């Protein structure tokens, strides 16, 4: 019997997902979020992550959260967020999102004090540019996020989440795209993803004055393994 069980997350799980999302990357300098958010503002980061996850859960029908539970304790210890194939955004939707950002009425208004918004926006823009290049939104899946509590990392939680998600992807004969940190990159290779591009950000140009490095995020695509019937 597997020590972990994977199932869809519910609204009652969202606080746990936010805690995991924060804990998983708190000390990881390989994650862009480490550099974007002010590490001393623990409560602010947690509240922003909770709001972000809650909004996606309730308002974005293209995304689904899946949880990984420790059978021995019943505790949620990891989660993944998958974006399913869907029609592209309309021009009106894209325009409204940009207008919200300009007016400060979008998600930026809720960012923790001290957030490096220039780095965040540049990273988001480059991420979107490369997704537009490699992802067919009407055909492909995107693994938007995967996170595991630090004390459970290396114990098979991420593998369990990937196996569960890829069962559906493969059954539909779809491709799957993701952005990988150096830490997660080896695992994704084992599951069949291959490098297609990279994002490189010199963190010292964003105000870190020698404390940063060139942050590498690898874009990866997993080819379809079965034809859609």
pLDDT confidence of residue 101: 54
Number of domains in the chain: 1
In a domain, 87, yes or no: yes
Look up residue 130 and give its two tokens: 């490369």
**pLDDT tens digit sequence for 105-133:** 567 889 999 999 999 999 999 999 999 99
Q: For the residues of 39-82, what is the DSSP string, one character each?
A: TT-HHHHHHHHHHHHHHHHHH-TTEEEEEEEETTT--EEEEEEE
**pLDDT tens digit sequence for 191-206:** 999 999 999 999 999 9
Would you place residue 229 in the very low, low, confident or very high pLDDT band (cuts 50, 70, 90)? very low
Average pLDDT over residues 27-39: 91
pTM of the model: 0.91
In a domain, 227, yes or no: no
Supply the mean pLDDT for the chain: 91
Question: What CATH number is associated with residue 52?
Answer: 3.40.630.30
Contact 66, 9 (CB under 8 A): yes
In a domain, 78, yes or no: yes
Domain span at residue 47?
4-222
In a domain, 228, yes or no: no
Residue 177 phi, psi (nearest 5): -115, 150
d(CA 17, CA 53): 8
Contact 17, 55 (CB under 8 A): no
């Amino acid at each position: 019997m597997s020590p972990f069980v994977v199932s869809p997350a519910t609204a009652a799980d969202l606080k746990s997902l936010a805690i995991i999302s924060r804990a998983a990357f708190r000390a990881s300098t390989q994650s862009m979020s480490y550099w974007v958010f002010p590490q001393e503002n623990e409560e602010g980061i947690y509240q922003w992550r909770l709001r972000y996850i809650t909004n996606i859960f309730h308002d974005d029908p293209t995304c689904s959260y899946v949880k990984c539970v420790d059978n021995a304790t019943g505790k949620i210890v990891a989660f993944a967020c998958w974006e399913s194939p869907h029609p592209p955004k309309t021009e009106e939707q894209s325009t409204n999102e940009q207008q919200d950002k300009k007016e400060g009425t979008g998600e930026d208004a809720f960012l923790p004090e001290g957030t490096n918004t220039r780095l965040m926006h540049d990273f988001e823009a480059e991420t979107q540019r490369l997704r537009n290049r490699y992802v067919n939104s009407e055909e492909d899946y995107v693994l938007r996020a995967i996170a595991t509590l630090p004390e459970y990392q290396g114990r098979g939680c991420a593998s369990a989440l990937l196996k569960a998600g890829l069962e559906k992807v493969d059954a539909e004969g779809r491709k799957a795209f993701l952005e990988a940190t150096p830490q997660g990159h080896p695992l994704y290779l084992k599951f069949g993803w291959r490098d297609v591009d990279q994002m490189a950000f010199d963190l010292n140009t964003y105000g870190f004055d020698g404390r940063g490095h060139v942050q590498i995020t690898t874009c990866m695509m997993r080819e379809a393994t079965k034809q859609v019937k």
